[in-house]
Amino acid sequence: MATSFITIKEVPISNNCPECFNNTGLKIIYKQKFVETKYYKSITDTITQDIICDNCHTTIYPVRWTEDIERVVAYQKKVLSPKTASTYLKKRTWVIAASTILTILIIVSLLIYLQL
């Protein structure tokens, strides 16, 4: 099973970076978790958010957030529209399902035929 986090949104914010005090480099990055197996692909409702600074290349962890950053994060979370969680089966799964049903049908009709 492979899980991956795919960036769904990057929001530049104009707050001051708590590390380098620059106000041009901060951005919030939202990532959504995807799961892929041999048989299906799934979009989960797990979403991570990271704040990074392009100027000093630092990840700003929640302990370092100022009140202003927290306010912006709370607002952005409200307007974020993630992909709806969903799962879809791969072709291989449909083929297996179809051949299983077909096999059952053949066996059932054979049984019925033999009893007549």
Q: What are phi and psi of 2, to 5 degrees?
A: -110, 130
**Residues at the interface with Zn ion (CB under 5 A):** 17, 19-20, 53, 55-56
Q: What is the closest distance, in whole angstroms, from the C-beta atom of residue 57 to Zn ion in the complex?
A: 8
Least distance (Å) between residue 39 CB and Zn ion: 44
Q: Are 43 and 83 in contact (CB under 8 A)?
A: yes
- Beta carbon of residue 18, minimum distance to Zn ion (angstroms, whole number): 8
Q: Which is nearer to Zn ion, 57 or 83 (CB)?
A: 57
- Our CB check for Zn ion shows the closer of 20 and 80 to be 20
Buried residues in 35-62 as b, exposed as e (16+ CB within 10 A): eeeeeeebbbeebeeebbbeeeebebee
